[in-house]
Chains A and B, each alone.
Chain A
Amino acid sequence: MNRVRSALQSLRAEYPPRFCIVWFLLYGTCYCVTVRLNHNLIEPRFGTGTRDALFLSFLSCFEGFVAACIARRLSRTARPEPPRNGCFLILLLKPTPDGDAFLGDLEQRFRQIANDPTQGPVRAHFWYWFQVLISVFAFMWVFLKRITLVAGLYEAIRKAIR
């Protein structure tokens, strides 16, 4: 009984629930694509035979392997630390000290979400990257306005109208 329990514990440590969910979603998508591919392309050309069944089995195994690799990578990278690439991207467009204050705000909220038991680090990563990507557009627009002198032109027109 103890051996079974320890085996289950090691299995749980090796394959945490997050890994299983991500794997299931990825593999489910791959399976649907395979079925569609078989229905539209393979069956009309080759018919249903042993060779096709073997081919599809092999393809499914390969998809499962790829999905497991991606899921493992995702579950291991979900650490309670903000992603460095996101920080770098922000600092490129928003120099210090404003960029530092902005990143501090992001990090504070990231830690709140990551430490919340109902949310966790995966959601925190998702939130962080989502905010970085939508904020990059805002910063880039300001940067483009500055370098193309659109802002100056706009202000001149506005003052002329007033």
Chain B
Amino acid sequence: MPTAQDKSAKHPIDNLGSFECWILTAVVTLGPERAYGMTIHEEVETLSRRRIVSLGSIYTTLERLENKGLVSSWFADATTERGGRPRKYFRIEAAGQRALQHAVNQAATMANALKTAKGFV
């Protein structure tokens, strides 16, 4: 079973989709103590200014990011307010930070290029 480090060494920088970027940003802004499904969902809704975001798509994207080795997860104890179900917390890994930084750099390069372009508001 390859570890997250093995996977990140295999793929130094992974190109992220827009939704993946939003989710990684939410995981980073919330921090490992507060980043679980529902809070990530609310944060993505706030940051991306989308009215409707499916919680299922958040979970499937987080699972994909975990398989790529960009985030890691662990289960906390079950609580009564959640009907005795546990929380799954997420934390960004070094590969995830690199990928997010790469996406931010790409966006900044695009923004700079568009600033000089004529006819683009």
Contacts and interface: CB of A to CB of B under 8 A. Distances in A.
Given A97-B75, A108-B81, A108-B82, A102 B55 contact: yes
A13 interface: no
Contact of B85 (A107, A134, A139, A142): A107
B59 interface: yes
Contacts, number: 73
Size category of the binding interface on chain A: 20 to 34
Contacts of A142: 60, 63
Nearest to B76: A101
Given A98-B63, A98-B88, A142-B60, A105 B82 contact: yes
Contact-residue bracket for chain B: 20 to 34
Q: Which 9 A/B pairs are nearest by Cβ-Cβ distance?
A: A135-B56, A104-B85, A104-B82, A138-B56, A101-B88, A105-B37, A105-B38, A134-B54, A138-B57
A23 B24 CA distance: 46
B85 A100 contact: yes
A7 to B, nearest CB: 40
A121 interface: no
B98 interface: no
Contacts of A79: none
Contacts of B60: 138-139, 141-142
Interface string B62-102: 01000000000001001001110111100000000000000
